[in-house]
Structure 1
Amino acid sequence: MSSSRTLLLAVMMFWLAGCANGPHRLPYDSWRLGLFAPNYMEVWIETADAVDVQDRAFRRAMSGIAAINTPKDLKGNPRGWPQRPGAGAGKQVLGADLPRLIYVRWQSLAEPQTYEAYIIIPEAIREAMLKGEKAFCEADAKWITDYRKMLSVGLAPGGVAKVWLMGPCLSAIDVARVQGSVVKKGPDGGRSNGQYALPLEPESKAYIEKYGIPYDSW
């Protein structure tokens, strides 16, 4: 057998192995990681990393500003979590298999304080990510087979992280509530001399000065 033919067969076998064991086994192209914060409780995400079931790390799958509402009339309610959480600010985790672990390090600008949390994704949640369900999508008034392929992480003062799994047209299910820990080096791993990424928006600052932070609600 010629060397070129041997090389071609080797490449084909590698490709087939990747299809059998890699992310192509998912019934969709990729899953999404999104993050949000309660009203007025602003968050800067230093990094949100994902580890899949093949122990591959996807570093900085998301970073930057978490999704948030800051109504100007100060009538937004930051207490507790919404019954129907949003998808949050996020990205598709391209090339990943099912998630095993999510690591988040964030700056809680409302306090301010820096936290980190390790979120283990249970096997039952991964099984739910593979299960297609009939769903009615109100956006286009059609019945489809939908998948829960979106992980949404709520980040609250005090270092609380709450996680849901949802689909574009399917209801959210609880994944976990994790108590994070303080990052002793402070924001940006100590490289910013204690300076946080952003100042609070005027509405958030005014709300916290008037009503405080409802730590016991998350």
Structure 2
Amino acid sequence: MPVLNKYKKTLITLLALFLLIGCEENEPLPGDPWQVSVVTPSFYPIKITQAYGVNTEQDWTMPLHGLVQTMSESELEYVRTVFPDYDGFGFPISLLTGVSGRQLGSANKHLPDSIYVYWTSLINMRFFVTKYDLSPKVKELMAKKLHYTRSDGSKGLPCYRAELFFGMLPNGKAKVWLWGCEQLIYLAELDPAREKDRDQNGATADVYRQGSKPERAKQRGIEAGVSTVPIPWEKVGKVYSKNTVELLSEQ
């Protein structure tokens, strides 16, 4: 009997820990709601047709409003106002050069389990779906309260790392960073979850070619006097940031 009671106590303790962990994961973010931003190389602009977050346990899908990648945010001359040495091939990661998506309706501070972005690579007319699954470690970082550091080194206002930056490449690959509290943390490189024959609105490559965006995308390299097709992969994907890029393993 003493041995049985010991096992019962152990099981009760483990059950309590699992319940506690589950409760903590379901707690909303204590700071600002989570949001998503997207950047792309200037020479390889994209169009986003849909983006949303999904929480499977709580059974909700949250559309992201405003996450429409227009070509103006990635214009070479505009990006160079933020990063003067920008070459047009890299990822210019900044709140000024990224396009941010915010949630529709009331602010939901519960984190999604996955984020989906549907987008079109305009330089080669390919249609991709990017999916990013938030790990427990990433959720923990997003919920952790930090403080800005003042110029004299003292503790400043509280802050949270609650913004996910996606960088899209014309072969469908994507890179993901976590931003906040003046920290930029590299999280992952993703293969496309899916490649489609049309965008989420049903527009095919032929429909896109009837408009001006694909031609304007190609014109950027011509005007800059550089070759953008074929894609020089040794140049593509360099990170431009005012902050040092940290690694998830370092957190």
Give the TM-score normalised by the residue count of structure 1.
Answer: 0.73
Q: Tell me the CA shift for residue 80 of structure 1.
A: 4.2
Shift in alpha-carbon separation, 1:21–1:174, aligned structure 2, 3 A: closer
Superposed counterparts of 1:122-141, under 5 Å: 122-136=135-149
Q: Report the counterpart of residue 178 of structure 1 in structure 2.
A: 190
Identity %, equivalent residues: 23
Q: Report the counterpart of residue 77 of structure 2 in structure 1.
A: 71
- Structure with the greater alpha carbon radius of gyration: 2
Cα distance between partner residues in 1 of 2:25 and 2:147: 26
Decide which of 22, 42, 47 is 1:44's aligned counterpart.
47
Residue 33 (str. 1) matches residue 36 (str. 2): yes
Q: Tell me the CA shift for residue 191 of structure 1.
A: 3.9
Q: Report the counterpart of residue 172 of structure 2 in structure 1.
A: 159
5+ residue gaps in structure 1? Answer: 1-19
Cα distance between partner residues in 2 of 1:70 and 1:142: 37
Say whether the 8 Å CA contact 2:41–2:88 is kept in structure 1: yes
Q: Tell me the CA shift for residue 108 of structure 1.
A: 0.8
Superposed counterparts of 1:56-205, under 5 Å: 56-65=60-69, 67-71=73-77, 76-81=86-91, 85-87=93-95, 88-93=98-103, 94-136=107-149, 143-167=156-180, 169-180=181-192, 183-188=195-200, 190-192=202-204, 194-196=206-208, 199=213, 200=216, 204-205=220-221
Q: Report the counterpart of residue 206 of structure 1 in structure 2.
A: 222
Structure with greater proportional strand content: 1
- Secondary structure of 1:157's counterpart equals coil
Say whether the 8 Å CA contact 1:103–1:116 is kept in structure 2: yes
Q: Tell me the CA shift for residue 61 of structure 1.
A: 4.2
Shift in alpha-carbon separation, 1:135–1:45, aligned structure 2, 3 A: same
Cα distance between partner residues in 1 of 2:68 and 2:194: 19
Cα distance between partner residues in 1 of 2:191 and 2:117: 12
Q: Please give the per-residue CA displacement for 1:28-58, whole angstroms capped at 9, x wherever unaligned.
A: 2412211111122111101111113634111
Which deviates more, 90-99 or 205-214?
205-214
Cα distance between partner residues in 2 of 1:60 and 1:147: 20
Shift in alpha-carbon separation, 1:198–1:176, aligned structure 2, 3 A: farther
Say whether the 8 Å CA contact 1:164–1:172 is kept in structure 2: yes
Cα distance between partner residues in 1 of 2:150 and 2:198: 43
One-letter code aligned to 1:129:
M
Say whether the 8 Å CA contact 1:45–1:63 is kept in structure 2: yes
Q: Report the counterpart of residue 215 of structure 1 in structure 2.
A: 233
Q: Tell me the CA shift for residue 130 of structure 1.
A: 0.9
Q: Tell me the CA shift for residue 81 of structure 1.
A: 3.9
Say whether the 8 Å CA contact 2:120–2:126 is kept in structure 1: yes
Shift in alpha-carbon separation, 1:137–1:198, aligned structure 2, 3 A: farther
- Secondary structure of 2:196's counterpart equals coil
Shift in alpha-carbon separation, 1:50–1:181, aligned structure 2, 3 A: closer
Q: Please give the per-residue CA displacement for 1:57-114, whole angstroms capped at 9, x wherever unaligned.
A: 11344542254242289x74234445xx223211333324112101111011122211
Shift in alpha-carbon separation, 1:193–1:129, aligned structure 2, 3 A: closer
5+ residue gaps in structure 2? Answer: 1-22, 238-251
- Secondary structure of 1:187's counterpart equals coil
